[in-house]
Amino acid sequence: MFFACLIGALLMSVTSTIHADDKTSRAEITDTLTQWTADFNAGRVDKLCDLFSRDLRADFRGQPERGYDGQCDLLKQSLGDATRSYSYALAIKEILVWGDVAVVRLTWTLTIRPKDGAEITAIEPGLDVFRKESDGRWRIIRYMAYEE
If one compares 25 and 2, the residue with the highest pLDDT of the two is 25
The average confidence (pLDDT) of the chain is 88
User: Does 12 map to a domain?
Assistant: no
Sheet harboring 120-132: ordered strands across? 52-60, 138-145, 120-132, 101-114, 84-98
The CATH number given to whatever domain includes residue 120 is 3.10.450.50
User: Does 114 map to a domain?
Assistant: yes
Q: Which of 20, 19, 35, 17 is nearest to 138 (CA)?
A: 35
* Residue 7, pLDDT above cutoff 50: no
User: Does 16 map to a domain?
Assistant: no
* Residue 20, pLDDT above cutoff 90: no
User: Does 18 map to a domain?
Assistant: no
Range of the domain at 112: 26-145
User: Does 13 map to a domain?
Assistant: no
- Least confident range from 88-92, 107-111, 112-116, 121-125: namely 112-116
pLDDT given at position 21: 80
User: Does 54 map to a domain?
Assistant: yes
**Total H helices, total E strands in the chain:** 3, 5
Q: How many domains is the chain partitioned into structurally?
A: 1
User: Does 5 map to a domain?
Assistant: no
pLDDT given at position 87: 96
* Mean pLDDT score, 49-59: 97
Task: Kindly report, residue by residue over 70-96, the tens digit of the pLDDT.
Answer: 999 999 999 999 999 999 999 999 999
Amino acid letter for position 23: K
User: Does 1 map to a domain?
Assistant: no
